[in-house]
Amino acid sequence: MAPIRNAAVIFAEAPTGYPEAGKHLKYVQDRTIDLDTVDVQDGIVTKNLVVSIDPYMRGRMRDANQKSYTPAFTLNEPLQNFFVGKIVKSGNTNFPVGQYVYGMGIYEEYTVHPKASTDHLRLLSEAQLKAGLQLTTWVGAAGMPGQTAYHGFYDIGEPKKGDTIFITGASGAVGQIVGQLGK
């Protein structure tokens, strides 16, 4: 097979205000990958199907010298965040071809995940896939926003029956889920 397109969303420039498509973030289509010859060693290659777009990502769009709780995106490299992908090539028996994975990924069509990064990926089980949930659920209610809501509400908030809850950001992904948990 000849090389195929591996388009990506690239962090091109740190914005001072709202990010602008084509200036700060660029969709680049001239990247390629050859799935037949790419060396995965003990890693895997995924076809990335769904990526999460989360508010915290704006804070990563900054100069790398600016300190923060999370690292800055690397200039002229694809964005990274949670994703769902299908394994299309594998050198790792724990990650068979055809399985779906969830975890931290790259905003590109195909990603080569070295063995070290597979430690941070989770296979979606047959039961999870047969539950009828759309793949977007794994980067939403069942992904980081859902986990943040769940642990924030139960582990930090420790609600008791009869408590009144106040959600300052109830229109966002996390706040909506906290509202449902608080019912």
Q: Tell me the C-alpha distance between 50 and 81, whole Å.
A: 10
The three-class DSSP label of residue 104 is strand
**β-strand 44-51 against 80-90: which pairing, if any?**
antiparallel
Q: Tell me the C-alpha distance between 63 and 93, whole Å.
A: 39
Q: Tell me the C-alpha distance between 178 and 93, whole Å.
A: 38
How many other C-beta atoms are found inside a 10 Å radius of the C-beta of residue 129? 14
Confidence of residue 11 (pLDDT cuts 50, 70, 90): very high
pLDDT over 70 percentage in the chain: 100
Domains of the chain: 4-124 (3.90.180.10), 144-181 (no CATH)
The three-class DSSP label of residue 122 is strand
User: How does pLDDT run across 55-104, given as a tens digit for each residue?
Assistant: 889 999 999 999 999 999 999 999 999 999 999 999 999 999 999 999 99
For position 163, what pLDDT does the model report? 92
User: How does pLDDT run across 130-148, given as a tens digit for each residue?
Assistant: 998 899 999 988 888 888 9
Residue 57 belongs to what H/E stretch?
Answer: helix 57-60
Q: Tell me the C-alpha distance between 7 and 161, whole Å.
A: 50
| DSSP bridge pairs for 27 | 9
